[in-house]
């Protein structure tokens, strides 16, 4: 499931093809780049090369614009998404909190004692275990 992502991010399309696929003018496509949205790769000859993901991004921008959202608004949308993703990344690399440790220890104890997660009280009343 990762080979597919690689292909989608492969920049192999020249701006001419992108124009036909998105029905956007070269002027618009380059302008969106100036605004920091959809930054294509450059080949040996400084020509812009786009990936399928770039195409999707451009079509998405096109829809936002059609819905009356301006450049500033679109930038905000992507900035917010970037921030949320960044927080998820940070959460992944965070060490276990005290709460996490307590939960893990409790679950482990339940396993060793042979109790199920919902009969915590029966333990106290069941001396012969």
Site for DNA in 20-59 (CB under 7 A): 24-28, 30-31, 45-48
CB of 12 to DNA, least distance (A): 12
User: Which residue, 53 or 123, is less far from DNA as judged by CB?
Assistant: 53
Cβ atoms of 78 and 37 within 8 Å: the answer is yes
Output 66 or 129, the one with its CB closest to DNA: 66
Which residue stretch of 18-26, 77-85, 97-105, 114-122 sits at the interface with DNA (rule: CB under 7 A)?
Answer: 18-26
Angle between helices 26-34 and 15-22 (to 10 degrees): 100
Distance of CA 31 to the CA centre of its chain: 24
The residue among 14 and 115 lying less far from DNA, judged by its C-beta, is: 14
Q: By CB under 7 A, is residue 16 in contact with DNA?
A: yes
Give one DSSP letter per residue of 63-83, joined into a string: HHHHTT--HHHHHHHHHHHHH
Total residues contacting DNA by CB under 7 A comes to 17
Residue 121: helix, strand or coil by DSSP?
A: helix
Of 21, 59, 53, the closest CA to residue 40 belongs to 53
How far apart CA 105 and CA 126 sit, in angstroms, is 21
Of 55 and 110, CB closest to DNA: 55
Residue 15 touching DNA (CB under 7 A): yes
Question: Which positions touch DNA (CB under 7 A)?
Answer: 14-17, 19, 24-28, 30-31, 45-48, 65
């Amino acid at each position: 499931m990762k080979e597919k992502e690689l292909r989608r991010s492969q920049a192999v399309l020249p701006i001419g093809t992108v124009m036909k696929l998105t029905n956007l003018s070269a002027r618009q496509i380059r302008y969106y780049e100036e605004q920091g949205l959809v930054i294509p790769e450059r080949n040996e000859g400084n020509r812009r090369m786009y990936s399928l993901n770039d195409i999707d991004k451009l079509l998405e921008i096109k829809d936002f614009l059609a819905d009356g959202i301006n450049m500033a608004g679109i930038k905000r949308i992507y900035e917010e998404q970037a921030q949320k993703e960044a927080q998820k990344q940070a959460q992944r690399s965070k060490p276990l909190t005290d709460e996490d440790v307590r939960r893990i220890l409790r679950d482990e104890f339940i396993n060793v004692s042979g109790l199920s997660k919902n009969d915590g009280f029966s333990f106290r009343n069941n001396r012969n275990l």
